[in-house]
């Protein structure tokens, strides 16, 4: 049975779809994709059904990641049951997830960057209101954490 991972940010058009696309691609490149089910969602419903932000898509494509098939969606009650890991990009979204999550599933919640080397408590900054450099920084952080996540879960 695959390990199910859900990445969560606010709108599901920048950080969480980038985390989904990067983690999926890294798992495929490592030949372990069959061991994982990877998805993303937002805590807010602003962008349901919409493609990821064009700047995120462009930055990801320049590194060989395809975000074009992804579409925004909102976290639903069923996600707390379905997924083994529900990883927020920042503390604000982690708090919203904690409030919505049934007590018996709260152990599944965490910050995505906890899987990056030396990034305990760190957050993926929201690049939406900034320039291209912000999307590059987000990709750097996500690649590091995705590699750490796959390494850690691959050993279980």
Q: Residue 64 has what DSSP assignment?
A: T
Taking each helix axis from N to C terminus, what angle separates 15-29 and 54-62, rounded to the nearest 10 degrees?
Answer: 20
Beta strands in 43-137 (DSSP E): 85-88, 109-111
Q: Is residue 101 annotated as a catalytic residue, yes or no?
A: no
Catalytic residue among 14, 15, 39, 90, which? 15
Which one of the listed residues 9, 24, 73, 79 is annotated catalytic? 9
- Beta-carbon-side half-sphere exposure of residue 97 (alpha carbons within 13 Å): 31
Q: Is 29 among the residues known to form the active site?
A: no
Active site (annotated) includes residue 82: no
Of 63, 67, 88, the residue nearest 5 (C-alpha): 88
CA atoms within 13 A on the CB side of 95: 4
Q: What span, in angstroms and rounded, lies between the C-alpha atoms of 24 and 88?
A: 17
Q: Which residue of the set 66, 71, 126, 133 is catalytic?
A: 126
Active-site residues: which are they?
A: 9, 15, 126
């Amino acid at each position: 049975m695959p390990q199910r991972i859900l990445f969560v940010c606010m709108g599901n058009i920048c950080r969480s779809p980038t985390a989904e696309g990067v983690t999926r691609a890294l798992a495929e490149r490592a030949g372990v994709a069959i061991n994982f089910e990877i998805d993303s969602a937002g805590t807010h419903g602003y962008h349901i059904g919409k493609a990821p932000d064009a700047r995120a898509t462009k930055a990801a494509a320049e590194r060989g990641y395809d975000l074009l098939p992804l579409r925004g969606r909102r976290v639903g009650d069923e996600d707390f049951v379905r997924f083994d890991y529900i990883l927020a990009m920042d503390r604000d979204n982690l708090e919203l997830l904690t409030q919505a999550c049934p007590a018996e599933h709260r152990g599944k919640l965490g910050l995505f960057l906890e899987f990056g080397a030396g990034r305990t408590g760190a957050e993926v900054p929201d690049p939406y209101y900034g320039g291209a450099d912000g999307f590059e920084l987000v990709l750097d952080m996500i690649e590091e954490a995705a590699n750490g996540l796959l390494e850690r879960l691959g050993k279980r």
